């Protein structure tokens, strides 16, 4: 049986999620929020080692599916190569334990040697997780609730491609939207996320299969537009609620579109290419308008085949556009296509880069995670070998650290022994089912203190299990404060229940 390694770095969730009412950025689809590949996390390092992982597990099978996250639940797909059995897994992001898994028998069929039977990335919302896969006879779209119960299942008909499928679904409002551009009869479809019933279906011309996952373009002051890239239709804008075509620019791509659209400087940018190599390019399109007064137009094209990302989707940081091609990374001006810098870094890329805290993270096929500065000057910040090959895209969970939590509620500044600390009032009793898992994750020690003596760290040490007592409204412990000492850190944060102290 094949196995697939999944690792969650302590650095990727330093401090992890504290109480559940904290703001957090969910990673709900391929390449995160709207497919941008951009995270507002701030605590991911540029290098790490085996000792830094919170957990590391092996999944049955193999797959190129990227994880998606909702709260502390991580969803991912895998498949057994010898039988094409599809596996949907839900993993506890706190400790790596498998919460549930579902297996679905399938039939081995032709696919590209570099593809897998589990390449689409799930989509997730507050209620469900949505997955898809194909055989030549059936294109399956399914929804599960977060407990693993099947909610609905759709058979979308035959799927014709010598490479098999790889497009991922997205969620927009109450719709699950999926592209079905294939070698056979093609269409785009939106179904009700709660029932799976078809809301709209848009017929498409048939060309080669497209693996591009759509995104939403939001023109200033105008309705949202759904953007698809493909060889047959070029760049297409539709009303996401009705499927009505707003505008379309055909002829933009003369080869297969594998990467997904990105929006930079008001332009929609995509790429096309061929696995055989040669003739790959990137094109930027100025969007049209819903009314006929404004027509879409190709603005620039980059034709350096080796620098063009055939499979990876590009990522933007402000006005800068970053391309990870065939061992070459390029920084360009998104508005004009002007090259700012280009560097050969070796290897090849199938996973798409993500941008976190002004840093680019990308998985090379040989399993090396490279970290570059997302700036107008090339700088390799770090690299970490993960020990196995990789053709998937990283997912990022924002870690709401204790410091971030406190900074979001700036009640006052005060000092202990002359050192200023930012503090926040804790509304006790705090539900133990919210705080206890957070304490376990960060390996913190809680210390009870007398509320009249906050300058010392002496007192009863409390582990996460003891928080049940602290949550009891009749327990006198709630009249005391909590000092939380971070693992491997000299920083102590005093969380207090009574009035703020005096400014230093």
SS3 of residue 57 by DSSP:
strand
**Is residue 314 in some structural domain?**
yes
pLDDT by residue (tens digit) across 148-159?
999 999 998 877
Inter-CA distances, 111 with 104, 158, 357, Å: 18, 15, 37
The whole-number pLDDT of residue 297 equals 94
Please indicate, yes or no, whether residues 411 and 377 belong to a single structural domain of this protein. Answer: no
Residue 497 near residue 426, CB atoms below 8 Å: yes
The whole-number pLDDT of residue 490 equals 38
Please indicate, yes or no, whether residues 206 and 325 belong to a single structural domain of this protein. Answer: yes
Question: Which of the four pLDDT bands, split at 50, 70 and 90, describes residue 430?
Answer: very low
Please indicate, yes or no, whether residues 342 and 459 belong to a single structural domain of this protein. Answer: no
SS3 of residue 306 by DSSP:
helix
Please indicate, yes or no, whether residues 378 and 410 belong to a single structural domain of this protein. Answer: no
Give residue 420's domain range: 402-495
Please indicate, yes or no, whether residues 345 and 424 belong to a single structural domain of this protein. Answer: no
Taking the C-alpha atoms of residue 153 and residue 104, their distance in angstroms, rounded to an integer, is 12
Residue 76 near residue 66, CB atoms below 8 Å: yes
Residue 120 belongs to domain with CATH number: 2.140.10.10
Question: pTM of the predicted model, to two decimals?
Answer: 0.76
Please indicate, yes or no, whether residues 491 and 363 belong to a single structural domain of this protein. Answer: no
CA-wise closest residue to 159 among 121, 116, 109: 109
Is the pLDDT score of 414 beyond 80?
A: no
Higher pLDDT, 381 or 106: 381
How many structural domains does the chain have? 2
Is the pLDDT score of 270 beyond 60?
A: yes
For the purposes of burial, counting CB atoms within 10 Å of the CB of 19, is it exposed (0-12), middle (13-18) or buried (19 or more)? Answer: middle
Please indicate, yes or no, whether residues 182 and 309 belong to a single structural domain of this protein. Answer: yes
The whole-number pLDDT of residue 386 equals 78
The whole-number pLDDT of residue 112 equals 59
Of the segments 112-116, 197-201, 286-290, 350-354, which one has the largest average pLDDT value?
Answer: 197-201
**What is the rounded average pLDDT for all residues in the chain?**
74
The whole-number pLDDT of residue 463 equals 46
Residue 384 near residue 7, CB atoms below 8 Å: no
Q: What is the DSSP-derived secondary structure letter of residue 145?
A: E
Please indicate, yes or no, whether residues 12 and 73 belong to a single structural domain of this protein. Answer: yes
pLDDT by residue (tens digit) across 47-76?
888 777 778 888 888 777 888 999 889 999
Of the ranges 225-234, 390-399, 435-444, which one carries the lowest mean pLDDT score?
A: 435-444
Taking the C-alpha atoms of residue 247 and residue 237, their distance in angstroms, rounded to an integer, is 5
Is the pLDDT score of 210 beyond 60?
A: yes
The whole-number pLDDT of residue 111 equals 66
The whole-number pLDDT of residue 337 equals 96
Quick one: tokens of 2?
Answer: 């094949």
Question: Which of the four pLDDT bands, split at 50, 70 and 90, describes residue 180?
Answer: confident
Question: Can you spell out the DSSP letters for 350-376?
Answer: -SPPEEETTEEEEEBTTSEEEEEE-SS
Question: Which of the four pLDDT bands, split at 50, 70 and 90, describes residue 423?
Answer: very low
Taking the C-alpha atoms of residue 277 and residue 285, their distance in angstroms, rounded to an integer, is 23
**Is residue 503 in some structural domain?**
no
Is the pLDDT score of 249 beyond 70?
A: yes
Q: Please, what sign has the CA dihedral across residues 86, 90, 94, 97?
A: negative
Residue range 451-464: mean pLDDT, rounded: 42
Is the pLDDT score of 239 beyond 80?
A: yes
**Is residue 502 in some structural domain?**
no
pLDDT by residue (tens digit) across 318-342?
999 999 988 899 999 999 999 999 9
Q: Could you give the angle at the alpha carbon of 425 between the alpha carbons of 424 and 429, nearest 5°?
A: 135
Residue range 7-22: mean pLDDT, rounded: 30
Please indicate, yes or no, whether residues 147 and 48 belong to a single structural domain of this protein. Answer: yes
Residue range 89-111: mean pLDDT, rounded: 85
Taking the C-alpha atoms of residue 118 and residue 85, their distance in angstroms, rounded to an integer, is 9
**Is residue 392 in some structural domain?**
no
Taking the C-alpha atoms of residue 270 and residue 252, their distance in angstroms, rounded to an integer, is 9
Is the pLDDT score of 20 beyond 60?
A: no
Question: Which of the four pLDDT bands, split at 50, 70 and 90, describes residue 487?
Answer: very low
Please indicate, yes or no, whether residues 376 and 443 belong to a single structural domain of this protein. Answer: no
The whole-number pLDDT of residue 195 equals 97
Quick one: tokens of 283?
Answer: 């094109």
Question: Which of the four pLDDT bands, split at 50, 70 and 90, describes residue 448?
Answer: very low
**Is residue 71 in some structural domain?**
yes
Please indicate, yes or no, whether residues 199 and 333 belong to a single structural domain of this protein. Answer: yes
pLDDT by residue (tens digit) across 279-300?
889 999 999 987 677 789 999 9
**Is residue 436 in some structural domain?**
yes
C-beta atoms surrounding 82 within 10 Å: 10
Taking the C-alpha atoms of residue 482 and residue 485, their distance in angstroms, rounded to an integer, is 10
pLDDT by residue (tens digit) across 372-399?
999 999 999 998 887 777 777 888 875 4
Point out the domain boundary residue: 351, 385, 419.
385
The whole-number pLDDT of residue 368 equals 86
Taking the C-alpha atoms of residue 437 and residue 15, their distance in angstroms, rounded to an integer, is 11
Q: What share of the chain is helix, strand, coil (3-state, %, to 5)?
A: 10, 40, 50
Of the segments 257-271, 289-303, 378-392, 424-438, which one has the largest average pLDDT value?
Answer: 257-271
Residue range 403-422: mean pLDDT, rounded: 32
Please indicate, yes or no, whether residues 373 and 454 belong to a single structural domain of this protein. Answer: no
**Is residue 504 in some structural domain?**
no
Residue range 214-219: mean pLDDT, rounded: 94
Residue range 202-215: mean pLDDT, rounded: 85
**Is residue 391 in some structural domain?**
no
The whole-number pLDDT of residue 440 equals 43
Point out the domain boundary residue: 350, 385, 420.
385
Taking the C-alpha atoms of residue 265 and residue 314, their distance in angstroms, rounded to an integer, is 14
pLDDT by residue (tens digit) across 122-150?
999 999 999 998 887 788 899 999 999 99
The whole-number pLDDT of residue 34 equals 94
Taking the C-alpha atoms of residue 159 and residue 107, their distance in angstroms, rounded to an integer, is 13
The whole-number pLDDT of residue 114 equals 63
- Give the chain's end-to-end CA distance (angstroms, integer): 62
User: Given phi > 0 = left and psi -120 to 50 = alpha, else beta, which region is 221?
Assistant: left
% of the chain beyond a pLDDT of 90: 38
Q: What is the DSSP-derived secondary structure letter of residue 406?
A: H
Point out the domain boundary residue: 385, 410, 439.
385
């Amino acid at each position: 049986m094949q196995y697939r390694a999944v690792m969650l770095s302590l650095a990727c969730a330093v401090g992890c999620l504290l109480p559940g009412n904290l703001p957090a950025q969910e990673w709900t689809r391929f390449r995160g929020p709207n497919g941008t590949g951009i995270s507002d996390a701030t605590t991911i390092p540029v290098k790490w080692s085996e000792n830094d992982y919170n957990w590391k597990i092996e999944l049955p099978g193999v797959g190129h599916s990227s994880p998606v996250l909702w709260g502390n639940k991580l969803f991912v797909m895998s498949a057994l190569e010898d039988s094409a059995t599809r596996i949907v897994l839900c993993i506890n992001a706190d400790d790596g334990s498998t919460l549930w898994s579902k297996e679905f028998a399938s039939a081995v069929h032709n696919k590209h040697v570099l593809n897998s039977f589990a390449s689409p990335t799930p989509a997730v919302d507050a209620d469900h997780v949505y997955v898809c896969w194909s055989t030549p006879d059936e294109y399956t779209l399914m929804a599960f609730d977060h407990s693993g119960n099947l909610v609905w299942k759709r058979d979308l008909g035959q799927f014709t491609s010598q490479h098999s499928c790889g497009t991922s679904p997205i969620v927009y409002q109450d719709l699950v939207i999926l592209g079905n551009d294939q070698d056979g009869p093609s269409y785009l479809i939106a179904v009700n996320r709660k029932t799976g019933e078809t809301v709209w279906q848009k017929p498409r011309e048939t060309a080669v299969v497209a693996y591009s996952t759509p995104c939403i373009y939001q023109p200033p002051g105008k309705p949202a537009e759904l953007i698809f890239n493909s060889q047959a239709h070029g760049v297409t804008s539709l009303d996401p609620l009705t499927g009505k075509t707003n505008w379309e620019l055909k002829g933009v791509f003369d080869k297969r579109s594998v990467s997904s659209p990105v929006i930079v400087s008001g332009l929609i940018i995509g790429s096309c290419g061929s696995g055989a190599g040669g003739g790959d390019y990137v094109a930027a399109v100025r969007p049209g308008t819903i009314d006929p007064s404004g027509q879409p137009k190709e603005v620039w094209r980059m034709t350096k085949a080796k620098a063009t990302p055939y499979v990876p989707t590009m990522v933007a940081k402000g006005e800068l556009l970053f391309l990870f091609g065939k061992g070459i990374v390029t920084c360009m001006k998104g508005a004009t296509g002007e090259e700012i810098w280009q560097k050969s870094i070796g290897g090849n890329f199938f996973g798409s880069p993500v941008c976190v805290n002004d840093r680019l993270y990308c998985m090379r096929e040989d399993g090396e995670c490279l970290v570059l500065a997302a700036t107008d000057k090339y700088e390799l910040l770090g690299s970490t070998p993960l020990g196995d090959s990789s053709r998937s895209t990283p997912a990022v969970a924002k870690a709401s650290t204790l410091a971030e939590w406190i900074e979001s509620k700036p009640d006052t500044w005060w000092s202990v022994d002359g050192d200023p600390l930012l503090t926040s009032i804790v509304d006790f009793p705090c539900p133990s089912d919210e705080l206890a898992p957070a304490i376990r994750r960060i390996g913190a020690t809680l210390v009870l203190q007398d509320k009249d003596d906050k300058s010392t760290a002496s007192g009863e040490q409390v582990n996460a299990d003891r928080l049940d007592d602290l949550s009891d409204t009749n327990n006198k412990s709630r009249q005391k404060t909590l000092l939380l000492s971070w693992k491997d850190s000299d920083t102590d944060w005093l969380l207090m229940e009574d009035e703020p102290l005096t400014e230093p």
